[in-house]
Amino acid sequence: MKFFADTANLNQILEVHALGILDGVTTNPSLMAKEGIKGEEAILAHYALLAKEIPGDISAEVIATDYEGIMKEGRRLAKISDNIVVKVPMIKDGIKAISSFTAEGIRTNCTLIFSPGQALIAAKAGASYVSPFIGRIDDIAGDGMNLISQLVNIFTNYGFGTEVLAASVRHPLHIVQCAELGADVVTCPPSVILQLLQHPLTDIGLEKFLADHKKLNG
Ligand code: G3P
């Protein structure tokens, strides 16, 4: 399973990258705004920086919601670097644009997926990734993990090349459950990835090993 960092914060991304376990990055307009990155030039420059620093796929989201606008923005984003993936919302013009991007050889991530039907349409249009938002489904008393299971089954049934990229991941159990269900990718805040490292018994065990060593060796 691939791990993507769901943030535009370069320091946080590099902290996980330094462990040698990071496969890519996803951003969205909210995450870019959170870092105070505004204005077209600054946004494009930040994507270029992320694409240079991280050797995996970097999802860069379009702001336009009409077909022509999505195509124009997406082509500009794709030109930045080969590892930029154009993130497109799950709307009718978005699906039309994903079909066109696919024909042009531009890779896409269809975002804001909340149902199996939406994911099926995005896969048929040739999306490289679909992003089901599991945390937001859980937020409204739904079952985000059930959606992951449905998407993995559907894509396996028909041999779609589209990868299931679990998004809106909120805690380490989400990551483990995604791994059990066969999601291709999880994207989550770097802090959640780092939480996977922790276990109190590891801390207690290490403390005891070091104390026993010190008793004999000073
Ligand atoms: O990857 C999508 C993500 O950024 C949304 O997460 O926690 O705002 O639902 P969240």
Q: Are 186 and 1 spatial neighbours (Cβ–Cβ below 8 Å)? A: yes
168 exposure class (CB count in 10 Å sphere: 0-12, 13-18, 19+):
buried
Residue nearest to atom 8 of ligand 1 (CA): 168
Q: Are 147 and 114 spatial neighbours (Cβ–Cβ below 8 Å)? A: yes
Mutation test residue for ligand 1: of 28, 32, 88, 110, the one with most atoms within 8 Å of CB = 28
- Given this model, what pLDDT does residue 172 score? 97
What kind and span of H or E run contains 17?
helix 10-17
Distance of alpha carbon 185 from alpha carbon 156, whole angstroms: 15
- Give domain limits for the chain: 2-217
Q: Are 161 and 127 spatial neighbours (Cβ–Cβ below 8 Å)? A: no
Please list every protein residue whose CB sits less than 6 Å from any atom of ligand 1: 6, 26, 28, 31, 133, 135-136, 167-168, 187
Q: Indicate which atom in ligand 1 lies nearest the CA of residue 189.
A: 4
Give residue 158 CA to ligand 1 midpoint distance, Å. 28
Q: Which residues are catalytic?
A: 87
- Given this model, what pLDDT does residue 218 score? 82
Q: Are 13 and 7 spatial neighbours (Cβ–Cβ below 8 Å)? A: yes
Residue nearest to atom 10 of ligand 1 (CA): 168
Distance of alpha carbon 111 from alpha carbon 121, whole angstroms: 12
Q: Are 89 and 122 spatial neighbours (Cβ–Cβ below 8 Å)? A: no
Give residue 100 CA to ligand 1 midpoint distance, Å. 26
190, HSE (Cβ side, Cα atoms, 13 Å): 20
The CATH class given to the 2-217 domain equals alpha beta
In this prediction, the residues of the chain whose per-residue pLDDT falls under 50 are none
The Cα-based distances of 4 to 40, 130, 132 in angstroms read 24, 14, 14
Distance of alpha carbon 217 from alpha carbon 150, whole angstroms: 56
Q: Indicate which atom in ligand 1 lies nearest the CA of residue 26.
A: 1
Which amino acid would we find at residue 39? G
- Given this model, what pLDDT does residue 68 score? 98
Reported pTM: 0.96
Give residue 167 CA to ligand 1 midpoint distance, Å. 6
Q: Is the dihedral angle over the CA atoms 6, 109, 133, 144 positive or is it negative?
A: negative
